[in-house]
């Protein structure tokens, strides 16, 4: 066991239940192919000297992340689920924990390492998403207020969280801002398809 833990939240690969906003424009099957590709990008990025835990939305997939410990997400909303995951990590003895999702085209091991580096100087690290949320959160101690009574998936999420943390006497460090993929416009703007021509070809064939 290392002192550092990476937690990854993933959705099970079920058509019609992943990338639902994207699916409204390209269809459920095509959206599933995009999510599979993003999941592979996340898996590659997770390699490092830290330990890795993967929390699944519905059931544990034994074929993914063979070296990672795997769990089911627990809680009524995203905040409760993240709070539970962080609690489990701190109870297990980890001193710095980063949690990411699995829908960021620009996710890389360098981004994760920068997050852990920030946690050497600050107790809180966020990776801001361009939609007003965040794609990464890192903590060296449990701060439950981060996960409670928050406007999940709303454009003021990060700002409200930072304001509350400031009022509590906590200051957070920020990583570079990136765009996660929720819509077709996000996917195109990210340049992800140009970097993954096989995925681009698949989507073109599905939408012919």
CATH number, domain with residue 48:
3.90.550.10
pLDDT at 203: 85
Supply the pLDDT for residue 1: 64
Per-residue pLDDT tens over the stretch 179-194: 888 888 888 888 888 9
Q: What average pLDDT does this structure show over 159-176?
A: 95
pLDDT tens digits, 60-92? 998 888 889 999 999 999 999 999 999 999 999
Instruction: Examine residue 132 and state whether it is found in any structural domain, yes or no.
Output: yes
Mean pLDDT for 41-59 is: 93
Tell me the whole-structure pTM to 2 decimals: 0.94
Specify if 104 maps to a domain.
yes
* 124, part of any domain: yes
| Residue in this structure with the two tokens 């096989």, named with its chain if needed | 198
Label the pairing between strands 96-100 and 4-10.
parallel
Number of domain units in the chain:
1
| 143: Cβ contacts below 8 Å, ≥ 6 apart | 123, 124, 165, 168, 170
Q: Is 73 contained in some domain?
A: yes
DSSP codes of every residue in 71-95: EE--SSSHHHHHHHHHHHHHHTT-S
Q: Is residue 154 part of a domain?
A: yes
Sequence length of the chain is: 208
**Domain-located, residue 146:** yes
121 confidence band (pLDDT: 50, 70, 90) = very high
Using the predicted structure, report yes or no on whether residue 157 has a pLDDT greater than 80.
yes
Note whether residue 77 is domain-resident.
Answer: yes
Domain-embedded: residue 208: no
pLDDT (tens digit, 9 = 90+) per residue, 12-40?
999 999 999 999 999 999 999 999 999 99
* pLDDT greater than 80 at residue 208: no
Domain membership of residue 50 as a residue range: 4-203
């Amino acid at each position: 066991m290392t002192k550092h833990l990476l937690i990854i939240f993933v959705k099970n690969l079920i058509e019609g239940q992943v990338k639902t906003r994207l699916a409204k424009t390209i269809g459920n099957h095509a959206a599933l192919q995009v999510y599979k590709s993003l999941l592979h990008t996340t898996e590659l990025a997770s390699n490092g000297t830290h330990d890795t835990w993967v929390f699944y939305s519905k059931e544990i997939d034994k074929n993914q992340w063979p070296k990672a410990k795997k769990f089911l997400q627990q809680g009524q909303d995203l905040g409760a689920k993240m709070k539970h995951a962080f609690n489990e990590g701190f109870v297990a003895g980890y001193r710095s924990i980063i949690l990411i999702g699995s829908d960021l085209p620009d996710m890389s091991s360098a981004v994760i390492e920068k997050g852990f580096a920030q946690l050497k100087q600050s107790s809180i690290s966020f990776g801001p998403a361009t939609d007003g949320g965040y794609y990464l959160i890192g903590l060296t101690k449990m701060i439950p207020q981060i996960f409670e009574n928050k406007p999940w998936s709303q454009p003021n999420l990060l700002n409200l969280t930072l304001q509350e943390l400031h009022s509590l006497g906590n200051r957070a460090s920020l990583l570079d801002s990136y765009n996660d993929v929720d819509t077709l416009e996000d996917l195109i703007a990210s340049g992800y398809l140009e970097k993954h021509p096989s995925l681009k070809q698949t989507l073109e064939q599905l939408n012919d």
